[in-house]
Structure 1
Amino acid sequence: MERYSIQEFVNETMQQDKGEGLFELETARLLEINLTDKIWTKAGAMVSYRGNIKFEREGVFEHGLGKMFKKTLTGEGTSLMKATGQGKLYVADQGKKISILQLQGESLFVNGNDLLAFEPTIEWDIKLMKKIAGMLSGGLFNVKLEGEGLVAITSHYEPLTLLVTPDNPVFTDPNATVAWSGSLQHEFVTDISFKTFIGRGSGESIQMKFSGNGFVVIQPFEEVYFKQTNSMG
């Protein structure tokens, strides 16, 4: 067990400016945002801030009626918080590991529960996973991000990226899937031969199949979400 004097502890854990720009990893699980204007973060992700920063929950019509309707179906998991002003903002999500990505015109799909923060220059839209709504626990939806700017995503433990090629598709557990490139085609497939091993309501193993050219990010952890109360057909 490590023991510190008070001054040693302060010196060891003290926040340090690394000069990395807008998004800076203070630790592997704590993101510092050097705010000068506006940023979108996952609601509830703020753990600390300094400076003149104002926080607002996403306005009902801020992103249009279509997104509001989809947010209603997917629940609180898609709620965003807008931070405006100048200062340092610290965000985290249940101690999950944070990865910072720079979009340069590409598109990226992120599991809605794994999206931590992104720049307002990035276009986004919620994509419902309707086909499996009744098969898996609720909360499975993804957010499509595209354009120019920084995105921070989270994963339980270390993420692993798998390359997908036309002759070598990748299958994943939806609950362990963090993100995938927008160039991929994805669909849901079931394997009833695994039903005796999978404790899901449908009795079937639900898998995501990715094909084309691109990559898939997975985590060594199956996230369990709250039961979905809305019917999405």
Structure 2
Amino acid sequence: MKSSLFEPSNNEITTNEWLSLQNEYMLKARIYPQYDLIAQKGAMVAYQGDVTFAHEGSRDVGQFLKKMMSSDDQPLMRLSGDGEVFLASYKANVHLIQLENDAITINGRNLLAFQSSLQYDLNRVQGAGMLTGGMWNTTIHGVGTAAVVTQGPPVILDCSQQPTFTDMQATIAWSANLRPAVKSSMSAGALIGRGSGEAFQYAFHGPGWVIVQPSELSFPVTA
């Protein structure tokens, strides 16, 4: 029975899709036996049915060491069972990305969820050693659907025609064939408070694309 206290658009949307949008801020994931979902810890806002939530640890020694080196700030959980789970992250816009043997690199804080059929790993950005703790992101590949979150409507930039530079906090994801470097705009004036405020950027060169959001604010992450 649906409530008559709100607008019809607020009612749950029934669908057979594994991943679907209830609205621009909320993802609905259908969980089946043997078809798990990997999601950002703390992103569950509701669920129905018999669903189990478990910490998603490192799959092997190599990934464990990468997490230790990166101080990875994207804790993940595995959802299994038989039911429906509703996910959201600080009222951020949710977008679905379908991968068909493709690969995409995503800022960990913008990765909301992905089907367990997709493989994932941590990768370090070239030249990030100049930053405290370096800079690591999550690369996912294979066949399946991933959900990312952005603060506002994102824009996809084509890097094929000319070098592209993006604010590190505003950068959401990029095609995994690209190998970004970290570019410094630090000047002597910055040392006395006369810098531009744009000290570091990602630098992308070559065929591919990068997604940026209209915000430089980072999402808080639940540990």
Normalising by structure 2, we get a TM-score of 0.86
CA RMSD of aligned residues (A): 2.3
Q: Paired residue for 1:183? A: 177
Return the letter of the residue paired with 2:209. F
Q: Deviation digits for residues 159-190 of structure 1, max 9, x if unmatched? A: 1100111x411100111100000122311111
Please name the residue that 2:195 is paired with: 197
Q: Distance in 2 between matches of 1:106 and 1:146?
A: 6
- Counterpart position of 2:59: 63
Q: Which runs of 5+ in 1 are unaligned?
A: 1-5, 227-233
8 Å Cα contact 2:126-2:182 kept in structure 1: no
* Local SS of the residue matching 2:6: helix
Please give the alpha-carbon distance, in whole angstroms, between the structure 1 residues aligned to 2:145 and 2:111: 12
State the 1:105 CA deviation. 0.8
Match of 1:52 among 35, 50, 53: 50
Please name the residue that 1:106 is paired with. 102
Instruction: Show CA shifts across 1:120-140 (max 9, x none).
Output: 11111111347435536x694
Q: What is aligned with 2:146?
A: 151
Between the aligned residues of both structures, percent identity stands at 27
Whole-Å Cα distance in 1 between the matches of residues 123 and 217 of structure 2?
18
Q: Distance in 1 between matches of 2:83 and 2:73?
A: 26
Contact 2:110 2:172 (8 Å CA) reproduced: yes
2:214 aligned to which of 215, 220, 223: 220
How far 1:95 sits from its partner (Å)? 1.1
CA distance in 2, matches of 1:130, 1:215: 18
Written as runs of structure 1 = structure 2, the 5 A alignment for 1:29-108 is 29-36=25-32, 37-59=35-57, 62-75=58-71, 77-108=73-104
* Aligned-partner SS, 1:67: helix
Q: CA deviation at 1:213?
A: 0.7
Other structure's SS at 1:98 match: strand
How far apart, CA to CA, are the structure 2 residues paired with 1:178 and 1:22?
Answer: 23
> In the aligned structure 1, how far is the partner of 2:131 from the partner of 2:68?
19
Task: Please give the secondary structure, in 2, of the residue aligned with 1:154.
Answer: strand
Task: Flag structure 2 segments of 5+ consecutive residues without an equivalent.
Answer: none
Matched, 1:13 2:7: no
Residue of structure 1 equivalent to 2:120: 124
CA distance in 1, matches of 2:196, 2:109: 22
1:210 and 2:204 correspond = yes
Amino acid at match of 2:43: A
Question: What residue is the counterpart of 2:24 in the other structure?
Answer: 28
- 2-structure distance, mates of 1:78, 1:67: 13
